[in-house]
Amino acid sequence: MVHDPEVVYRQTTPASRALHEKAVAVMPGGTTRTTTYFDPYPLYIDRGEGCRVWDADGTERIDMLGNYTAMILGHAHPKVVEAIHKQAARGTGFAAANPIEVQLATLLCERVPSLDAVRFCNSGTEATMFAMRLARAFTGRPKIARIEGGYHGTHDYAEVSTHPVVSEAGAPEAPIARPDSIGTPEWVLEQTVVLPLNKPDAAEAIIRREGGQLAAVILEPIIGAGGVIAATVEFLERLRTVTRELGILLIFDEVISFRVAPGGAQQLYGVTPDLTTLGKIIGGGLSVAAFGGRADVMELLDPRQEPNLAQGGTYNGNPLGMAAGLATMTELTPDVYEELNRKGARVAEHLSEVFASHQVPVQVNSVGSLFALHFTNTPVVDYRTMAAANKKMTRDLFLGLVNHGVLMAPRAMGALSTPMGEQDIQQFIDAVDAVATEQRSRWQSETERS
Ligand SMILES: Cc1ncc(COP(=O)(O)O)c(C=O)c1O
């Protein structure tokens, strides 16, 4: 029997469907976040606790995504809830600095190797936008280099070559800047230089060619939303050496990868950038992000000197977000990271075993508590190898898992949270096994076709 997961999804999520029908009248596509939309209509989540979420029909699922990796302690963690309650009762925002932002800034500067100083903002998008602007201000140069397939949010400079159509994106060693969105200005493409991941010689040659024009090279040391693809240490070291030589700032976007170690991927890989952007886990589930780095660069933001780079923002460092972030980061001791990463390694191992037992060609990309599945025989080491994987099988897996009580990213990416125990992990693996069993005939014909 051919098993179409969409049929089951439609049958079992009537409340989400009804909400969607109402929502489309007032929000394009019925959501306010493109990344939460999927076909035929998105799931509407009513509440979460620990590593579980409940949808509008009251159906319980394991949350293997945790708001796209942000919820590292799971949902409604008692310490975080307590911190939010306490602060909410004391006021949520003032036109003034507050003591908690000093505490969270101190904690981050102590933990992250590259951070001499930090500034808060409200989203990863803002963090990369300010980091890029700061790099342009510091160097006096206009261009930003970034990695094909990397993701840095949704401002104009970020919306380039995140997911280009490969046939339009140039040679693998010399990718060309492609817009991700309609409305991306032409001048942004002209000011953006695209580098291939994990090709150190090719990347260095491009950087040297553009050298005098480049303010910064920005990259995720571990590409997150784009498929958990780690940069090799050799690649990172090469970027470090060439950028230092040419006076270009190296920016690590650790909005996602900060969860792999107390000091982020820069600590794990032993390469220190000039600037770092953070988000997701540092806000404990509220909208907090940050950018920071070398003292001589961050100094440009100091309002005591002229000229300075102004960074306004009504909610920057608001005490509610700071309290949630501080409570979360305080819970994240080195032991907690170690245990979470151990669980991540076990999940990756189990996933490989399950797909091997079904003879499904898959790459399990994982670092620490992050993982992603790519349906291909070829190791996924950059955007081009990721783009060549079978996307239909990914969709079947995602929707099949939703039907079997698991929420992951539609692109089959996931992140563990600390409340996950052995039983939760086993339940996830059993669900993957059940979907692979159901999809055997569909996936066999897909595999033969590709
Ligand atoms: C690496 C990276 N940078 C930036 C962003 C943008 O963050 P936000 O969605 O908070 O704007 C994201 C979001 O997923 C991200 O993964």
Q: What is the CATH number of the domain that holds 233?
A: 3.40.640.10
Rg for the chain (alpha carbons), in Å? 22
CB 271 within 8 A of CB 233: yes
Does the pTM exceed 0.75?
yes
Q: Looking at the structure, tell me whether residues 268 and 359 fall in a common domain.
A: no
Catalytic residue list contains 151: yes
Q: Looking at the structure, tell me whether residues 348 and 312 fall in a common domain.
A: no
Measured distance CA(447)–CA(450) in Å, rounded: 5
Query: Which residue among the candidates 63, 253, 382, 433 is catalytic per the annotation?
Result: 253
Q: Ligand 1 centre and the CA of 289: distance in Å?
A: 9
Q: Looking at the structure, tell me whether residues 294 and 373 fall in a common domain.
A: no
pLDDT of residue 2: 65
Q: Looking at the structure, tell me whether residues 290 and 346 fall in a common domain.
A: no
Read off the pLDDT of each residue in 10-19 and give the average, rounded to a whole number.
98
Q: Is 256 in the pocket of ligand 1 (CB under 6 A)?
A: yes
Q: Write the CA distances from 228 to 38, 224, 360, 368, integer angstroms.
A: 20, 5, 20, 10
Q: Is 124 in the pocket of ligand 1 (CB under 6 A)?
A: yes
**450 pLDDT higher than 90:** no
Ligand 1 atom having least distance to the Cα of 123 = 10
E strands along 39-163, which residues?
45-49, 52-55, 60-63, 117-121, 143-147
SS3 category, 8: helix
Position of tokens 């046939």? Answer: 167
Query: Which residue among the candidates 151, 269, 337, 383 is catalytic per the annotation?
Result: 151
Catalytic residue list contains 4: no
Q: Which of 331, 347, 373 corresponds to the end of one domain?
A: 331
Q: Ligand 1 centre and the CA of 3: distance in Å?
A: 35
Q: Which of 272, 304, 331 corresponds to the end of one domain?
A: 331
Q: Looking at the structure, tell me whether residues 171 and 299 fall in a common domain.
A: yes
Ligand 1 atom having least distance to the Cα of 153 = 6
**75 pLDDT higher than 90:** yes
Q: Looking at the structure, tell me whether residues 40 and 20 fall in a common domain.
A: yes
Q: Looking at the structure, tell me whether residues 33 and 147 fall in a common domain.
A: no
Which residues span the domain enclosing 314? Answer: 78-331
Ligand 1 atom having least distance to the Cα of 287 = 10
Q: How many structural domains compose the chain? A: 2
Measured distance CA(376)–CA(114) in Å, rounded: 36
Q: Containing H/E element for 285?
A: none
Q: Ligand 1 centre and the CA of 253: distance in Å?
A: 9
Measured distance CA(359)–CA(98) in Å, rounded: 56
Query: Which residue among the candidates 280, 343, 382, 424 is catalytic per the annotation?
Result: 280
What is the CATH number for 368? 3.90.1150.10
Read off the pLDDT of each residue in 47-56 and give the average, rounded to a whole number.
98
Q: Looking at the structure, tell me whether residues 154 and 299 fall in a common domain.
A: yes
Measured distance CA(108)–CA(126) in Å, rounded: 18
Mean pLDDT for the chain overall: 97
**3 pLDDT higher than 90:** no
Q: Which of 331, 365, 391 corresponds to the end of one domain?
A: 331
Q: Ligand 1 centre and the CA of 123: distance in Å?
A: 7
pLDDT of residue 116: 98
Q: Looking at the structure, tell me whether residues 359 and 305 fall in a common domain.
A: no
Catalytic residue list contains 280: yes
> Which residue, among 262, 421, 252, 260, has the nearest Cα to 329 in the 3D structure?
262
